[in-house]
Structure 1
Amino acid sequence: MKTINRRSFCAGAAILGGSFALAGCSGTASKQADEEKPKGEIIETDIAVIGSGLAGEACALAAAQNGAKVVLVEKSPTLGISFQTSKGNVSIYQGVENEEFWQFVSETTDTMDEFLARFKKATETGKVDAPYPDYDRVKALMQASCETVNWVEKTGIDFIQSFTKEKVGTDTVWPDTSADASKAAGQLITEKMTAALEDAGVEILLEHEATELVTEDGKVTGVVLQSNGKTKTVAAKATVLACGGFGGSVDYLNEFVPSVEKIGFQYLGNAMNTGDGITMGKAVGAALYDNCWVIPFNIMPSRKLAEVDPSFATLVDMSMSTKPLEGGGVASKMLVDAQGKRFVNEAGPGILLASSMADHDVAPYYALFDSTNAEACEILEKGISTGDVIKADTIDDLASAMGAVALAETFASYQAFAEGSVEDEYGKSVEKAVAYGEGPYYLVSYVPSYVATMGGLKTDSDCRVVDDAGNAIEGLWAIGEITHRFMYNRSFVRHCSNSVGLSMGRLTGEAIAKDLA
């Protein structure tokens, strides 16, 4: 499977009353053509967790703390690799129901109805006809969020206030890194979780790739691993897939979200997230979501430009890894399609811009720059040779060079709006617009970026993987990005994926362990 070169639900039995019975699940997995005996070295355990993101780590730790023997499998050389550089923000719901676990006192006490209203507004930006979010599951997970953060704090992390619901829609906390400012918050969480896993007796297998699920009489009984040319089989009473999404797989992207490759989305997530869990799940009859999408982040210069000079990464309004160049993004500029027409409020959320690019479907897309920012021009000049920067002295010449007949008219309309003569048809406020100065002018190819995917394996309210008939596949669970499509419609809610990943993992691990006891 081709991969892209680099650069989390469970309500739990206690919340929804769901059963995690290992022997009494309805439905069975479809048998593989030739079921084989375990391969290579055999490792016996109660629970095998595949993947060490937030969901996987939380699941393994909670299960071990509740008496289960756990093996945690990770194909990279370190745990939590997807989260290492994260700022560690975790969304929480703070209502009267969970006041004993509040992290800080908000200006106003939240209610679940109010929370869900804000969540709905955010996730339905660019809404499509899909039966998600599943608000019952969202409600249960967010109800558990404060208790989950309190649980994580027992590893030695102190979470402090980050954002309020008035600012970003959800109350949010992040790890206090003041004792060692050199560490990213994500790195701190990973270190503390790793130490806690070791203390709890979890067997950790790094650089082991899970390649297939083992079944017996339709029940998943373990997983086959490959490491340094050697094969091992983990024989487990329960297998939990927490191995991320499909953002690093060109094949799965072309199958599930073809607009990503067509437009040239840049992937800012973990390149090792190649849909391994999807591949293994499909082989045992797991149902897949049929309306997959990605989690957009912002828009940025094209792949070619990023490759020719890393400085192009500063020409954004928001960046994950570099400090944006002041005035270098598109919020105050004109964003046009291949015909030279505007199609969106450039100052809108990055999610809106990315979704609009995919839905508008008139790629390539360009941001128009003038020559007033010398630092930006120095960067832009380096991209001309790639063909993804088009330069001309006048707008008419630029329109000719680009073959965009509407560019000149679009430019005149934008100038009139930026100078306060007319209102903008796309709802951009005049305060966000800056009239263009003199040329030369540059049209710069911009594409959406994304950090994760929405899709993968379908699960029930107890995180058990289900088949096409909705029946649980015995012995198999999935948590985290591989299954969190139910959380969102088209847009993600800031920092909620971290929250639901942790709660999914904690509640699932705890419930399986208690059921095995």
Structure 2
Amino acid sequence: MGVAGFDEEFDVVVVGSGAAGSAAALAAQRAGAAVLVVEKCDEDVAGGNTRVSGGGWWVNADPQRARTFLRSLCGPFPLPDDVVDAWADETAANSQWMKELGADVALSAEYHTEPEYLGEEGSDCYAGMDAIGGRLGNSLLFDFLRKAVAESGIEIRYATPAGELITDDGIVTGVVVGSGSGSRRIAARGGVVLATGGFAGNPQMVHDYLRVHDHVLWGSPASTGDGHHLAQSVGADLWHMDNMATITGVRGDDGSGHYLALWGAHNYLFVSEEGRRFVDESAVAYPNHGHIRRDGAWELFPLRPFRLVFDERMRTAGPLSPTADVLPVGWNLLMNGSRWSADNSAEIDRGWIRRAESIAELAQIMDIDPATLERTVTLYNEACAAGRDDHFGRNPDMLGAVSEAPFYVLDVVPLLGWSNGGPRRDGRSRVLDTRGEAIDGLYAAGEVSSTYSWCKDGGFHIADALAFGRVAGRDAAARATGVEPGGASR
């Protein structure tokens, strides 16, 4: 044994190997720390949501305006000033930091070229989205960061879950990890950084905190709230546990999730279980990362299943779920190799999409009152003919009649991309206890403790993970080495 009671000793131990974990490890090593990364998954499925995300980060062109923008997006759920300040300054440094690592950083020319929340104060700080080679998805960011960590000489131990935090008089001094050869007690002189991802893959936590009882996953099934449980075990407080991002999804035969993207024709409408419209569909067609504008406020959507009713023009306009050449994102597409057919015919054959020659027949298939559905479609088609939707205010440019037989119905289910809440932390990424005091030696970064209390724009999650991963790594290294970030001795 090394230090009494421990099998090994490092300056910083990082739990998780996604964007936040990689950034924390690299920043801690650059600050002079000896670093170990432990990852519960096998190497071929490690990396959490970073591995299957778009992998881009927003370009912060003005940190001062970014402070205003973040506060606008938080709405009625404000963040502490030190968190806002650190976020605004550190996200502005992301692209330069990635370039220093050797990344080919370029603006995306196709996605997130402007803010989704264009009308919110401070949105003028948003200058697009940077990504590896300017391209999203295909695990490009994850692959780059994994290579950068490997080339730095930092060890990543795969299939090594963290099972317990070790404390001494309330200070986190290490972590107990498991492996095929048994458990080991690893000391962390500067601290333990939790970068374990969210809890979208934990059905009980989803039910308890998000209240989404019927959903499918878009991200990693390994996001099971491990870091949340570790932090709580040593007294951590929690923040914004009810915030998340769901978008429109489809349940596959194996229970996995497909993204329903309504990017082709507009000959569709949403109906409830009773066969009635209930929302402005155009607000959902381009979701603001889990929120839509409704009744003068931003709200989470969708929270429960509904039905998509459409006609033959919509069916032939292209795949309802993006193909890999268009949007190579999501666990099901990248890791399971799932593919949606170009004309939606395979999904009809599978029974996911059901077909009828009339709206009345479609209603019978849906087990709802035919007169109700016929009236719903008639009123919608009248709005299309008039070019004005007085019931829900759908964008006139997206009013496409549902009138060309055959007609189709697809069951839509919330596709859960990520959770936002976790252990409360400060602007130095230190986890806070229920009294608001820092738990010495414990840090959190990334989805395990996302900054976002309410709305978030394109590229915000990766930017947050890179930014606070670096903050956590630097601060933990300073505790171990006695040298403050920037060079001053403690």
TM over 0.5, shorter chain: yes
- Identify if the C-alpha distance between structure 1 residues 364 and 428 changes in structure 2 by more than 3 Å, giving closer, same or farther: same
> Residue 157 of structure 1 contacts residue 175 of structure 1 at CA under 8 Å; is this kept in 2?
no
> Residue 299 of structure 1 contacts residue 447 of structure 1 at CA under 8 Å; is this kept in 2?
yes
Counterpart check, 1:503 vs 2:456: no
Counterpart check, 1:452 vs 2:418: yes
Which residue number in structure 1 is paired with residue 15 of structure 2? 50
Which residue number in structure 2 is paired with residue 443 of structure 1? 409
| 1:418, distance to aligned residue in structure 2 (A) | 1.2
Which residue number in structure 2 is paired with residue 177 of structure 1? 133
Which residue number in structure 2 is paired with residue 10 of structure 1? none
Paired with 2:282 and 2:143, the residues of 1 have a C-alpha distance of 38
| 1:226, distance to aligned residue in structure 2 (A) | 1.0
> Residue 153 of structure 1 contacts residue 159 of structure 1 at CA under 8 Å; is this kept in 2?
yes
Paired with 1:82 and 1:361, the residues of 2 have a C-alpha distance of 20
| 1:446, distance to aligned residue in structure 2 (A) | 0.6
> Residue 337 of structure 1 contacts residue 366 of structure 1 at CA under 8 Å; is this kept in 2?
yes
Residues 75-474 of structure 1: pairs in structure 2 closer than 5 A = 75-78=40-43, 80-95=47-62, 112-113=64-65, 115-116=66-67, 118-119=69-70, 123=73, 131-134=77-80, 137-162=83-108, 166=114, 168=116, 170-177=126-133, 187-237=139-189, 238-259=191-212, 262=213, 264-289=214-239, 291-296=241-246, 298-301=247-250, 303=251, 306-307=252-253, 313=258, 316-317=261-262, 326-327=264-265, 332-349=267-284, 350-351=286-287, 364-372=305-313, 373=315, 378-379=345-346, 381-384=348-351, 389=353, 391-401=355-365, 402-404=367-369, 406-420=372-386, 422-474=388-440
CA RMSD of aligned residues (A): 3.3
The amino acid across from 1:147 in the alignment is A
> Residue 18 of structure 2 contacts residue 195 of structure 2 at CA under 8 Å; is this kept in 1?
yes
Partner deviation per Cα, 1:344-367 (whole Å, 9 max, x = no partner): 121224546965799799954101
- SS of the equivalent of 2:183 reads strand
| 1:208, distance to aligned residue in structure 2 (A) | 0.6
| 1:515, distance to aligned residue in structure 2 (A) | 3.5
Identical columns (%) = 25
Paired with 2:185 and 2:435, the residues of 1 have a C-alpha distance of 29
* Larger RCO: 1 or 2 (CA < 8 Å, sep 6+): 1
Paired with 1:173 and 1:244, the residues of 2 have a C-alpha distance of 22
Paired with 2:474 and 2:254, the residues of 1 have a C-alpha distance of 49
- Identify if the C-alpha distance between structure 1 residues 417 and 148 changes in structure 2 by more than 3 Å, giving closer, same or farther: same
- Identify if the C-alpha distance between structure 1 residues 290 and 334 changes in structure 2 by more than 3 Å, giving closer, same or farther: same
- Identify if the C-alpha distance between structure 1 residues 505 and 64 changes in structure 2 by more than 3 Å, giving closer, same or farther: same
- SS of the equivalent of 1:419 reads helix
- Identify if the C-alpha distance between structure 1 residues 47 and 423 changes in structure 2 by more than 3 Å, giving closer, same or farther: same
> What runs of 5+ residues in structure 2 fail to find an aligned partner?
117-122, 317-341, 482-490
- SS of the equivalent of 1:423 reads coil
The amino acid across from 1:151 in the alignment is W
The amino acid across from 1:153 in the alignment is K
- Identify if the C-alpha distance between structure 1 residues 269 and 380 changes in structure 2 by more than 3 Å, giving closer, same or farther: closer
> Residue 50 of structure 2 contacts residue 462 of structure 2 at CA under 8 Å; is this kept in 1?
no
Partner deviation per Cα, 1:174-230 (whole Å, 9 max, x = no partner): 34539xx9xx76644444433443444423212111111112222211111111151
Paired with 1:449 and 1:361, the residues of 2 have a C-alpha distance of 8
The amino acid across from 1:317 in the alignment is L
Paired with 1:284 and 1:211, the residues of 2 have a C-alpha distance of 13
Paired with 1:503 and 1:353, the residues of 2 have a C-alpha distance of 20
> Residue 165 of structure 2 contacts residue 176 of structure 2 at CA under 8 Å; is this kept in 1?
yes
| 1:432, distance to aligned residue in structure 2 (A) | 0.7
> Residue 138 of structure 1 contacts residue 487 of structure 1 at CA under 8 Å; is this kept in 2?
no
- SS of the equivalent of 2:275 reads coil
- Identify if the C-alpha distance between structure 1 residues 407 and 72 changes in structure 2 by more than 3 Å, giving closer, same or farther: same
Paired with 2:372 and 2:148, the residues of 1 have a C-alpha distance of 60
Paired with 1:353 and 1:443, the residues of 2 have a C-alpha distance of 25
Query: Greater shift after overlay, 506-515 or 391-400?
Result: 391-400
Q: What's the TM-score, normalizing by structure 1? A: 0.74
The amino acid across from 1:84 in the alignment is R
The amino acid across from 1:211 in the alignment is G
> Residue 420 of structure 1 contacts residue 430 of structure 1 at CA under 8 Å; is this kept in 2?
no
Q: What's the TM-score, normalizing by structure 2? A: 0.78
- SS of the equivalent of 1:207 reads coil
> What runs of 5+ residues in structure 1 fail to find an aligned partner?
1-36, 96-110, 319-325
Residues 18-29 of structure 1: pairs in structure 2 closer than 5 A = none
Partner deviation per Cα, 1:269-288 (whole Å, 9 max, x = no partner): 11111111111112111112
| 1:171, distance to aligned residue in structure 2 (A) | 1.8
| 1:290, distance to aligned residue in structure 2 (A) | 5.8
| 1:71, distance to aligned residue in structure 2 (A) | 1.0
- Identify if the C-alpha distance between structure 1 residues 94 and 359 changes in structure 2 by more than 3 Å, giving closer, same or farther: closer
